[in-house]
Structure 1
Amino acid sequence: MNIWKDKECVKIYFQYNAELLKIIKQISGGKYNESENIWIFPIKKYDEIISRFNYKKVENGIIPSINERKEKLREYMVRKGYSPKSIKNYVNHLNRFLIFSNNKTDIESVNKYLLNLLEIKESSHSYCNQAINAIKTYLREANIASEIDLIKIVRPKKEKVLPKVLSMSEVKSIIDVTENTKHKTQLMIAYSCGLRVSEVANLKVTDIDSKRMVVIIKQGKGRKDRIGTLSVKMLEQLRDYYKEYKPTNWLFENQMKNGPIGTRTLQRIFNAAAKKSKINKPATFHSLRHSFATHLLESGVDIRYIQEFLGHSSTKTTEIYTHVSRKSLMGIVNPLDRLG
């Protein structure tokens, strides 16, 4: 539903809904414009209409353009301190929704968009949930929908997808087949510290503390700092890398040497190494992080330490690795092996 002021009248648009139609007919002075598919009321009815529908006022009573809506969301997220990646993702989600809905922001349009994502686009539930988060963030900030309206947005069940984990021999193979010193160092530090691809890209030379034997991961996901252990082998590799490339600010510079390496470049490096080592699993750069956590768990490291290494806010997030760890299965004899 959209309600806005236009000169000396109030206009209301909503797709057919028997409950909304019943409420609107209780307000006197209204006329239905069939050609525009809107209801029109005298301007003096604005406050009554807003009250009846529990509708939060659109600023200045004017429907903003798609670009104005996107900019409003972007500015809000910048003020709240969201990461550039989150801002980009949310703004893109909002943009796709507004194009689909022809700039309509009623709850029915939101639910139709989500149905399109699931049935036509065959998007994952996690993708749809991120779209919902983006749309809700905008609707709240722009004071377009009440919390009662937002509850009507149907959220798909969260998918339980197990992380893609590589064996220790597969990780070793990926590292061994990588001959380029820089590429090998990137893959090694990702696995050694359980880093996200963006965290590898954003490492600085000063983040390597060889005296304390730690790697400082600054402003990771959720704007949190944390530390990872610096292994002896990793330190030796970093020293070889430094002698050859001599980075000054970013640990892994881009080709122009004016900024950090891109995350897509890192993903391509991993894909090339996985292909060369003949690994057919659907693995990504992030699989190095999953493998790090799983291998620690299998070696007996307490899950609370693993939680800290990964930067998780709760052990509940870390517990997903218990579902892919072989440790709990190793003592179980498969009944097939017991058949004579």
Structure 2
Amino acid sequence: MIAEMQIRNYSPRTISSYISSLTRLSLHYHLSPDLLSLEQFKDYLSERIAADKISNSTINQAIGAWRILQCDILRHEWTDFKVKRPRSKKKIPEVLSPSQVSALLSSISNVKHHALIALAYATGMRRNEILGLKIEDIDSARSVIIVRQGKGGKQRQIPIKNSLLNILRKYYKKYRPARFLFEGYRPDMQYSPTSFRNILRKAALKSKVNKRVTPHTLRHSFATHMLEQGINLKQLQLILGHNAMKTTSIYLHVADTCSIPVPDLLEIKTNETHG
């Protein structure tokens, strides 16, 4: 099954998640997963929903792993093993106001942390896309960032402003990362996702932003502010790397398209420090 997913170019994270999902199913019945029936799989999901209150994404992940096992590995007809996916809950994403983003950025004095958060907000990139960026992915001559390993293995280009380029240049001169744009204490190693979250949590407390701020909150805020600046939905879809326009259109419910245009929030000064 691992080989099948590797051939399909699934990300290591997805492969790990799918294998973990089937492993848990197998341990539940103390049977190899190829010996389980459709009814057993459904009963397992029902028990987990009742006992563990698992999310729709966890259910969908289990169904995805189940389908690969049944159809691609065991060569069964999907109609005989099909499980319908749960109805998705339509939630409006929580976003920060321009003043909250400005306060958040102003509160971060560490040069590296400031560059990381500024990049996340100014591009709307996903956390893993940011942490996977390499030095050569920043094309300053064309003012674009090349995302080589986007969701689903897709590549795209994101336009960036001079204000962000200046922040990244200042950071690079001070830290000189060897391989990845943002590295941890060990050279050639990606920056930690946990550290990324902690920077945002501390900045939110320091700036008194009364919201739970995550890397994805910055992505939601970027998308909303871009719509408020007048970008069309198709352009935003391409920048965010969404497969379907429907996914991007959720931001229409959040954006105030009659508001004053959002200023360049990266044009701020901070008392910068190392660390």
Query: What range describes the TM-score normalised by the shorter chain of this pair?
Result: 0.7 to 0.9
The equivalent position to 2:87 in structure 1, one of 157, 160, 163, is 157
The answer to which structure, 1 or 2, has the higher relative contact order (CA under 8 A, 6+ apart) is 2
The two structures have a TM-score, normalised by structure 2, of: 0.88
Kindly provide the amino acid, as one letter, of the partner of residue 75 in structure 1.
A
Per the alignment, do residues 328 and 140 of structure 1 end up closer, same or farther by CA in structure 2, a change over 3 Å counting? Answer: farther
Structure 1 residue runs of 4 or more that deviate by more than 6 Å after TM superposition? none
SS in 2 for 1:227: strand
Larger Rg belongs to: 1
User: For 1:1-340, what aligned pairs fall within 5 Å after superposition?
Assistant: 73-103=1-31, 104-143=35-74, 145-151=76-82, 153-327=83-257
Give the root-mean-square deviation of aligned CA atoms.
1.8
Amino acid of the residue matched to residue 314 of structure 1?
A: A
Structure whose residues are more often strand by fraction = 1
Using the size of structure 1 for normalisation, the TM-score is 0.72
Task: Name the CA distance, whole Å, in 1 between partners of 2:236 and 2:211.
Answer: 24
Deviations 1:143-197 (A, max 9, x none): 164323222x243212212222111111111111111100110000011111100
Q: Secondary structure at the residue paired with 1:222?
A: helix
Shift in Å, 1:283: 3.0
Q: Secondary structure at the match of 1:219?
A: coil
* Residues 117 and 128, structure 1, Cα contact 8 Å, conserved in 2: no
CA displacement at 1:329 relative to structure 2 = 9.2
Asked if the contact 2:179/2:188 (under 8 Å) is kept, the reply is no
Query: Hey, what's the Cα distance between the residues in 1 that align with 2:177 and 2:259?
Result: 45
What is the percentage of aligned positions where both structures have the same residue? Answer: 37
Q: Which moved more, 1:174-183 or 1:125-134?
A: 125-134
Aligned residues: 257
Distance in structure 2 (CA, Å) of the matches to 1:301 and 1:157: 30
Which residues of structure 2 form unaligned runs of 5+? 261-275
Deviation for aligned residue 1:203: 0.8
Residue-by-residue CA offset, 1:256-314 (whole Å, 9 max, x unaligned): 11221122221222222122222232331111111111101111111111011111122
| Structure with the higher helix share, 1 or 2 | 2
